[in-house]
């Protein structure tokens, strides 16, 4: 579902940046997609770490089938042996348990996230084992549809900026922030179109 701000964001970005104007015109029917549920989105992100998309889907399918529902209460009570039987490594079992515990005991309360600034929410999410800054930023973009996230550590964004704004050279973080400042307060949207400049098919997290 298209975020409410998307039309305004694309209009303003197109007026500021000729490349974005071209990319926006090329991809008018595509926008950010989301899987919805916060716990499941983050669990899927952990499951998919360092394995192929196909393998991640296979593990997730087994994980979902092995539990009556994929919820914090159910997963926190699941044994490590049961999780390993779904194809998760010992480390990922610990990560999934820690994530479920954070939701189950109230350290993560999605109902309260709307009032938190992006940086505070990222800081909260990275306290979970297995969730780093990149995963947290992808969650803010794709699950929460935050409009002004700028994932400087993302390789795809780095490559796009190198290609289009930095003569093919890998940009320093300072250079990326200078370019990104021109896109605020719609840096999530600009980032999404930077990804489209490298790969036309959208990704969901």
What global pTM score does this model have? 0.89
- pLDDT band at residue 36 under the 50/70/90 scheme: confident
SS3 103: helix
| Mean pLDDT for all residues in the chain | 93
pLDDT in tens, 95-154: 999 999 999 999 999 999 999 999 999 999 999 999 999 999 999 998 999 999 999 999
> Tokens standing for 6?
């998307």
- Residue range 42-67: mean pLDDT, rounded: 92
- Residue 88 near residue 63 (C-beta atoms within 8 A): yes
Residue 204 scores a pLDDT above 90: no
| Alpha carbons 110 and 102: distance in angstroms, whole number | 11
Q: Which residue is it, tokens 């400042």? A: 181
Ordered DSSP codes for 70-83: -SHHHHHTS-HHHH
Tell me the angle at which helices 18-26 and 187-198 cross, rounded to the nearest 10 degrees.
70
């Amino acid at each position: 579902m298209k975020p409410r701000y998307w039309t305004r964001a694309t209009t303003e970005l197109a007026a500021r940046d000729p490349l974005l104007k071209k990319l926006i015109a090329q991809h008018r029917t595509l926008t950010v997609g989301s899987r919805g549920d916060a716990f499941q989105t983050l669990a899927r992100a952990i499951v998919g770490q360092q394995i192929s998309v196909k393998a991640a889907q296979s593990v997730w399918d087994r994980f979902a089938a092995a539990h009556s529902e994929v919820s914090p209460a159910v997963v926190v009570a699941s044994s490590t042996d049961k999780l390993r039987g779904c194809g998760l490594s010992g480390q990922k079992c610990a990560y999934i348990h820690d994530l479920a515990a954070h939701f189950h005991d109230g350290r993560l309360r999605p109902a309260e996230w709307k009032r938190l600034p992006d940086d505070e929410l990222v800081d909260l999410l990275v306290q979970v084992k297995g969730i780093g800054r990149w995963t947290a930023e992808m969650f803010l973009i794709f699950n929460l549809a935050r409009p002004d996230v700028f994932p400087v550590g993302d390789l795809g964004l780095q490559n796009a900026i190198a290609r289009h704004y930095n003569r093919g050279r890998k940009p320093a973080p300072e250079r990326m922030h200078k370019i990104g400042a021109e896109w605020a307060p719609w840096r999530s949207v600009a980032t999404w179109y930077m990804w489209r400049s490298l790969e036309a098919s959208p990704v969901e997290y």
